[in-house]
Structure 1
Amino acid sequence: MLLPGRSYNLFDDFFNNDFFGRDFRKFEAPSMKTDVKEVEGNYELSVEIPGFNKEDISVSLKDGYLTISAKHEENKDEKDEQDKYIRRERRFGSCQRSFFVGDAITEEDIKASYNNGILKLTLPKEKERLPQEPKTIAIE
């Protein structure tokens, strides 16, 4: 029943239905929650990437941008004795996040480790540039 003045959205009703349930949320796009802290003159990034293996994750540096990518593909098949499918599940997911770290940082400066769904990256702080006196440019 639709009531005047009450907003009704068919899609909200459909997607909140128990048909999708909790298992449907497993297939939502993963996000990379990141904590950045300063530790002894370095920056330490702790990136949450649960459900991914170390082999699924790549870290690259290009034009001053540090990019973290993760891609996951998983297949699960269960069959009964007559090869009739009881359940077939596949899970695919990917996510990517980039941070500007400056042009002075190289790949050799960055250290990375992955343990229990947390990617830890340590990179040096870019040295602060001292303010320079304005320089006059000769006009030809």
Structure 2
Amino acid sequence: MTLAKLSNNWFPSFPSLVDRFFDGELMDWNSSNYSSTNSTLPAVNVKENENEFLIDVAAPGLKKEDFSVNYDNGRLTISSEKKNEKEEKDGEKVTRREFSYQSFQRSFTVAQNIVDAEKIEAHYDNGILHISLPKRDEVKPKPTKQIEIK
């Protein structure tokens, strides 16, 4: 038995979804990493509680030295740059050389005068960059004051 592609004679200039799938256009998702630049923006979770903003950036495969975290005038910027160069030699002749360059930048704006910039902390653990932006004492919710009735 031989498998053969069926062509759509009515609209020859429009390839069918099946044709594009088997041609590799739709099957090659993993090798392109969902973009033509072989990089993606990492997923980010942002949480807020009464004391701080918490930001988790999923960036496995990186080291803490690969990150740069800056806070300026209510704007938090997280960036990373990683370069890899692998070369295999056979004597003096280069047989294969591979380059890899990955970078990203994410920025978040927080309303002015909310974050205590001196207390911002970041740490990288198990592929996740954790950033804590503590709120200034003046903007934290105050506990309810019980007023005595006389």
TM-score normalised to structure 1 length: 0.70
* Aligned-residue offset at 1:63: 2.1
Q: How many residues align?
A: 125
Superposed CA RMSD: 3.2
Q: Which amino acid aligns with 1:101?
A: V
Matched, 1:96 2:102: no
| Bigger Cα Rg | 2
CA 1:17–1:87 in 2, change beyond 3 Å: closer, same or farther?
Answer: farther
Matched residues, percent identical?
34
1:107 and 1:123 map into 2 onto residues whose CA distance is 7
* Aligned-residue offset at 1:52: 2.1
* Aligned-residue offset at 1:119: 0.5
- Correspondence for 1:35: 45
- Correspondence for 2:83: 73
* Aligned-residue offset at 1:71: 0.8
| SS of equivalent to 1:58 | strand
Gaps of 5+ in 2: 1-6, 142-150
C-alpha contact (below 8 Å) 1:61/1:106 kept by paired residues:
no
Between 1 and 2, higher relative CO (CA 8 Å, sep ≥ 6) is seen in 1
Matched, 1:107 2:117: yes
| SS of equivalent to 2:130 | strand
- Correspondence for 1:8: 15
